[in-house]
Structure 1
């Protein structure tokens, strides 16, 4: 497949590497000469203009940090340039309304939202989890791209559902961090070393992926300092999204704030 790619940064670069390794013809936007050199080193074709990314593309991938960046890049001109029948894949974790708006502006293409759960090392290994929203037809078009670096590729519902599931996932994760932060406080009050507590809990019924990450960092505070910006952004989006839908976090609210160190 010919794949256009925008956003070859910390998460996007290993995706591009996997796509090239699988034999796809990949064109990647590089705004600067340094970025274009890095893209070429990955084996992809570097282009200086966004319009060149869409030329002859079977799929166009956006791997950007925020909804605002998605809207800035995927404007009406770019969307109109994507060939009819192609699929637009949005990996950005954000509001489900963003992908719905993109589809409304470009009814000639398929759109899927496929937020990522995992890190660059998971992408490089081809084992990152993808929560995918979109029609069955859209997923069929997107799957050859997604399966290059995603396993499992989980179809969770209609367009926008991937975003909703990812945001809920990150809210649960933040809540688990909050529980671990409170547990560390309890351990301190009882005279138990936090690092020793974390090592012990990983062998008990309280074990979880969140605990594994915190244990590797050495403390709940250290882990939150490393990832708080990313989790905080996602939690802010879900608070806004569920408020628009007439819901709230309920009892999770205070626990989530504890997980963000607030």
Structure 2
């Protein structure tokens, strides 16, 4: 397939590499000379603006950092009009479902598919990043050859916007788990048990979890937050905004998440 790619950064770069390796004709937007040289080395075609990256594409993949950037690229640039009618736009960024809805309104000539990822660049590099996918059945089936280059499992969870909703629930729970772990570590330290000892021991007990394993691999909660805190906090902000729009809040999850914010602030 002809794939236009916007956002070949920390997460997007390994996606481009795997798309090229699978034989897709990839044309990616490079923001500067360094990024364009890197894309060329990966074997991708290079575009100096987003419109040229998307022109003539069968599928355009968007993998920018934030909800705000999705809005900027899709609603305040020449991207959407440049994408051929009948093509598909895949949004990997974790964003608000209302943003996906707004993009779909402005891109009525396209199939808009939201497919936020759960995992990191290392998962993408080996083709095992989880994708929560929202979109029409036929549209999702059509882009599966692209998504399967780096996504496994590919979980089709509902219509357009549903992928974001599931991912935001996932990330709220993920943040809550980190917060609970931070509180558990503090409890252990108050009882005189070092964090490293608690982390190692808990991975063998009934309280083990994926979050615990990830944090243990980093060595401490603070070390993990230093690496991932920016990503976690931006998604939690989106979840809180959605809860407010629904006239609600995150309930008990928010109490746990606040412990993550405390850890994050201590690092700055």
- With normalisation by structure 1, the TM-score equals 0.97
Conservation of the 8 A alpha-carbon contact between 1:5 and 1:61: yes
Conservation of the 8 A alpha-carbon contact between 2:52 and 2:82: no
Partner SS, residue 154 of structure 1: strand
Aligned to 2:61: 61
**Are 2:146 and 1:145 aligned?**
yes
Partner SS, residue 204 of structure 1: coil
Partner SS, residue 3 of structure 2: strand
Partner SS, residue 261 of structure 1: helix
Q: What's the offset of the Cα at 1:261?
A: 2.5
**Are 2:98 and 1:135 aligned?**
no
Mapped to 2, the partners of 1:233 and 1:186 lie a distance apart of 27
How do 1:169-248 residues align onto structure 2 when only pairs under 5 Å count? 169-248=170-249
How do 1:102-117 residues align onto structure 2 when only pairs under 5 Å count? 102-117=103-118
Q: What's the offset of the Cα at 1:123?
A: 0.2
Conservation of the 8 A alpha-carbon contact between 2:70 and 2:95: no
Conservation of the 8 A alpha-carbon contact between 2:94 and 2:116: yes
Post-superposition Cα deviations, 1:27-75, rounded to whole Å, max 9, x if no partner, equal: 0011211111010011100111222112211000100011221122223
Question: Which deviates further from its counterpart, 222-231 or 195-204?
Answer: 222-231
Aligned to 2:35: 35
Mapped to 2, the partners of 1:261 and 1:162 lie a distance apart of 29
Mapped to 1, the partners of 2:176 and 2:194 lie a distance apart of 22
Conservation of the 8 A alpha-carbon contact between 1:39 and 1:45: yes
**Are 2:263 and 1:259 aligned?**
no
Conservation of the 8 A alpha-carbon contact between 1:30 and 1:36: yes
Conservation of the 8 A alpha-carbon contact between 1:67 and 1:92: yes
Conservation of the 8 A alpha-carbon contact between 1:224 and 1:260: no
Mapped to 2, the partners of 1:48 and 1:63 lie a distance apart of 17
Q: What's the offset of the Cα at 1:108?
A: 1.1
Partner SS, residue 131 of structure 1: strand
Question: Which deviates further from its counterpart, 99-108 or 20-29?
Answer: 99-108
Conservation of the 8 A alpha-carbon contact between 1:224 and 1:261: no
**Are 2:153 and 1:156 aligned?**
no
Equivalences, count:
262
User: Which runs of 5 or more structure 1 residues have no equivalent in the other structure?
Assistant: none
RMSD in angstroms over aligned alpha carbons? 1.2
User: Which runs of 5 or more structure 2 residues have no equivalent in the other structure?
Assistant: 264-268
Conservation of the 8 A alpha-carbon contact between 2:133 and 2:154: yes
Post-superposition Cα deviations, 1:65-122, rounded to whole Å, max 9, x if no partner, equal: 1122112222363212211111000011110111111111111110111111000000
Aligned to 1:10: 10
Question: Which deviates further from its counterpart, 142-151 or 67-76?
Answer: 67-76
Question: Which deviates further from its counterpart, 245-254 or 15-24?
Answer: 245-254
Partner SS, residue 93 of structure 1: coil
Question: Which deviates further from its counterpart, 16-25 or 134-143?
Answer: 134-143
